[in-house]
């Protein structure tokens, strides 16, 4: 097996990892998010990088983000793209009639056009026509009209969607909240931007009142994704069109690839149709999620089977540094070359206290995720916490990282509990931790400790695991705004489920539901009797869930 050679090469030299890596160390590392993160640290926490070294590192970035780009600009000056854009902006301020093709491509997008006065728009239209940018000239001209909605409809579906999807909600509300005919909707359905259009119309606060009604017809376009069908179903639910909603949810279930998405569509088929056979089908799902758990409880069936992996007395068979992000990256790379038949035997090599997360990760992969594993690693660092706090921390960690201690996100959230560096540093300062380095977040004891501290803050205001999950993922400000908007989690039809599916921030929307399923499973492991329906129903009772609404 090839992985045997890999272990010899990569795991036998494991050592305590952490801190700022030198330029010489970094240039030898493979492109990865881990490398990006350590380049960012090198740029922001040291002063000994030359311009030439910075240029070399710039070419080795795996995924550039705004913060990293700004740091490189300090070292090597503005990137070529940034310089070009600034030059184009200067040219536009001077005279729109002089814009070259490159500047037209960089600048002329709907938000830019909306910022212009009518005189400037006319000058831009003329320049676009002269330079043969006919498509762009058409939608810019439409945006110059008093009735933008009708003007865009006349020129075409593609232009209509481009402007709608590019503009903020207040612009859409002012210019697009009108009725669309079925014929025009059918034209929109054939465009690539239609699926984004559906999501923009349906998800989030209901800022549009008339336009969503235009989506209340059974589309004949079979190429739409499961997500589009699902949100079309949610839109139909909002208007009480339950028969149409069932049709859309059925199509969403048929189109979906992942079991979670199929279960979500089935659950909504049940909610709007109340058919017992739909609930029975949902209860037979192998995936553990809030939908299948709800079905099991409703039918008084045993909870879905799962394996809980607790502390192991085994000694590690691999000298694998769980705190080294580069070792984890190499490990993931080699897994792509290992067959499913080999994964289970490979997993056994990690059945040890310090590598339990890897053990569970490999077992899940070996089962092709048809069996669920709930790991409780590094439990000695949780012993002083009450069961409720343990359950919440474990539920979050499973979703954040599957307890892989060396995890780094694209935004440089770190470790098991995925702490952003600024938050980790703030907590370390408040706790007066001496010699703290943000790589300490790769240590399980520090990760659990900081999670406990942060949850102490969140739970001052939020008392329900779903709302805590929203705040942990999107920030407490996001959770506060969402709850105080008065739109979500009210005593309306199909609540709290309708709100759970229409939270504007997609990552938090799905994250919250998955953490909630983890919470239910870990609660049962700790012997806490939990009624899923009651837990969900409580979401519409402010005095039971949060201090922002009560």
* DSSP line for 379-439: GGGSTTS-HHHHHHHHHHHHHHHTT-TT-B-TT--BTTTTB-HHHHHHHHHHTT-TT--GG
pLDDT digits (tens, 9 = 90+) for 478-511: 999 999 999 999 988 999 999 999 999 999 999 9
Give the pLDDT confidence score for residue 313 in this predicted structure.
76
Average pLDDT over residues 267-292: 96
Window from 44-53, 347-356, 387-396, 517-526 with minimum mean pLDDT: 347-356
Give the pLDDT confidence score for residue 356 in this predicted structure.
93
Give the pLDDT confidence score for residue 496 in this predicted structure.
97
How far apart (Å, rounded) are the C-alpha atoms in residues 292 and 281? 9
Average pLDDT over residues 226-231: 97
3-state secondary structure of 291: helix
Contacts 24+ apart (CB under 8 A), 504-512: 504/203, 504/204, 504/205, 505/474, 505/478, 506/203, 507/473, 507/474, 508/469, 508/470, 508/473, 508/474, 508/478, 511/399, 511/469, 511/470, 511/473, 512/466, 512/467, 512/469, 512/470, 512/473
Give the pLDDT confidence score for residue 317 in this predicted structure.
66
Give the pLDDT confidence score for residue 17 in this predicted structure.
53
How far apart (Å, rounded) are the C-alpha atoms in residues 544 and 238? 26
Q: pLDDT category, 318, cuts 50, 70, 90?
A: low
Judged against a pLDDT cut of 80, whether residue 236 lies above it is answered with yes
Q: What kind and span of H or E run contains 306?
A: strand 306-309
Q: pLDDT category, 19, cuts 50, 70, 90?
A: confident
How far apart (Å, rounded) are the C-alpha atoms in residues 154 and 393? 55
Judged against a pLDDT cut of 70, whether residue 15 lies above it is answered with no
Q: pLDDT category, 4, cuts 50, 70, 90?
A: low
Judged against a pLDDT cut of 50, whether residue 10 lies above it is answered with no
pLDDT digits (tens, 9 = 90+) for 66-97: 999 999 999 999 888 889 999 999 999 999 99
Give the pLDDT confidence score for residue 529 in this predicted structure.
87
Averaged pLDDT of the chain = 93
Give the pLDDT confidence score for residue 65 in this predicted structure.
92
pLDDT digits (tens, 9 = 90+) for 332-374: 999 999 988 899 889 998 998 889 999 999 999 999 999 999 9
Average pLDDT over residues 507-533: 96
Judged against a pLDDT cut of 50, whether residue 37 lies above it is answered with yes
Structure tokens at 367: 């089962």
Give the single-character DSSP code of 315: P
What length is written for the chain?
550
Judged against a pLDDT cut of 80, whether residue 404 lies above it is answered with yes
Q: pLDDT category, 456, cuts 50, 70, 90?
A: very high
How far apart (Å, rounded) are the C-alpha atoms in residues 457 and 471? 11
Give the pLDDT confidence score for residue 13 in this predicted structure.
39
Percentage of residues in the chain having pLDDT higher than 90: 88
Give the pLDDT confidence score for residue 360 in this predicted structure.
95
CB atoms within 10 A of CB 433: 16
DSSP state string for 158-203: HHHHHHHHHS-HHHHHHHT-S---HHHHHHHHTSTTHHHHHHHHHS
Q: pLDDT category, 5, cuts 50, 70, 90?
A: very low
Window from 213-217, 314-318, 437-441 with minimum mean pLDDT: 314-318
Give the pLDDT confidence score for residue 220 in this predicted structure.
81
Window from 145-159, 295-309, 451-465 with minimum mean pLDDT: 295-309
Give the pLDDT confidence score for residue 241 in this predicted structure.
97
Tokens 């339950």 -> residue: 242
């Amino acid at each position: 097996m090839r992985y045997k050679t890999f272990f010899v090469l990569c795991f036998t030299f494991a050592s305590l990892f952490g801190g700022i890596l030198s330029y010489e160390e970094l240039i030898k590392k493979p492109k990865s998010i881990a490398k990006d993160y350590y380049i960012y640290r090198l740029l922001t926490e040291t002063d000994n990088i030359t311009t030439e070294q910075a240029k070399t590192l710039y070419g080795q970035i795996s995924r550039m983000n705004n913060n990293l780009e700004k740091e490189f600009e300090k070292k090597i000056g503005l990137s070529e793209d940034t310089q070009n854009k600034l030059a184009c902006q200067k040219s536009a301020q001077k005279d729109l009639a002089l814009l070259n093709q490159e500047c037209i491509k960089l600048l002329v997008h709907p938000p830019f056009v909306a910022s212009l006065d009518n005189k400037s728009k006319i000058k831009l239209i003329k320049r676009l026509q002269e330079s043969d940018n006919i498509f762009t000239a058409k939608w810019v001209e439409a945006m110059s009209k008093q009735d933008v909605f009708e003007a865009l409809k006349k020129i075409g579906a593609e232009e209509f969607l481009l402007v709608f999807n590019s503009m903020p909600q207040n612009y859409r509300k002012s210019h697009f909240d009108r009725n669309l005919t079925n014929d025009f909707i059918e034209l929109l359905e054939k465009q690539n931007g239609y699926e984004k259009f559906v999501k923009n119309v349906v998800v989030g606060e209901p800022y549009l009142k008339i336009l969503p009604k235009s989506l209340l017809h059974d589309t004949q376009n079979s190429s739409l994704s499961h997500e589009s069908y699902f949100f079309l179903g949610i839109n139909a639910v909002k208007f009480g069109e339950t028969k149409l909603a069932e049709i859309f949810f059925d199509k969403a279930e048929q189109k979906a690839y992942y079991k979670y998405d199929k279960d979500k569509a089935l659950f909504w088929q049940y909610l709007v149709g109340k058919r017992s056979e739909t609930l029975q089908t949902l209860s037979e799902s192998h995936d553990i999620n809030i939908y299948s758990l709800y079905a099991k409880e409703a039918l008084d069936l045993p909870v879905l089977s799962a394996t809980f992996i607790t502390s192991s007395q085994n000694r590690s068979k691999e000298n694998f540094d769980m705190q080294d992000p580069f070792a984890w990256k190499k490990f993931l790379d080699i897994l792509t070359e290992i067959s499913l038949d080999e994964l289970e035997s490979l997993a056994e090599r990690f059945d040890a206290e310090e590598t339990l997360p890897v053990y569970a990760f490999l077992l899940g992969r070996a089962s092709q995720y048809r069996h669920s594993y709930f790991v409780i690693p590094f439990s000695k660092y949780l012993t002083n916490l009450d069961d409720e706090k343990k359950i919440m921390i474990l539920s979050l960690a499973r979703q954040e990282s599957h307890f892989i201690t060396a995890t780094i996100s694209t935004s440089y959230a770190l470790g098991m509990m995925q702490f952003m560096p600024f938050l980790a540093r703030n907590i370390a300062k408040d706790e007066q931790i001496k010699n703290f380095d943000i790589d300490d977040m790769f240590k399980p004891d520090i990760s659990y400790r900081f999670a406990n501290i942060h949850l102490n803050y969140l739970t001052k205001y939020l008392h329900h695991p779903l709302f805590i999950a929203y705040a942990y993922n999107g920030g407490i400000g996001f959770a506060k705004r969402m709850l105080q908007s008065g739109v979500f989690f009210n005593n309306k039809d199909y609540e709290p489920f309708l709100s759970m599916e229409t939270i504007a921030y997609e990552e938090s929307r799905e994250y919250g539901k998955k953490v909630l399923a983890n919470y239910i499973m870990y609660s049962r492991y700790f012997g806490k009797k939990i009624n899923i329906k009651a837990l969900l129903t409580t979401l519409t009772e402010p005095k039971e869930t949060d201090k922002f609404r009560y």
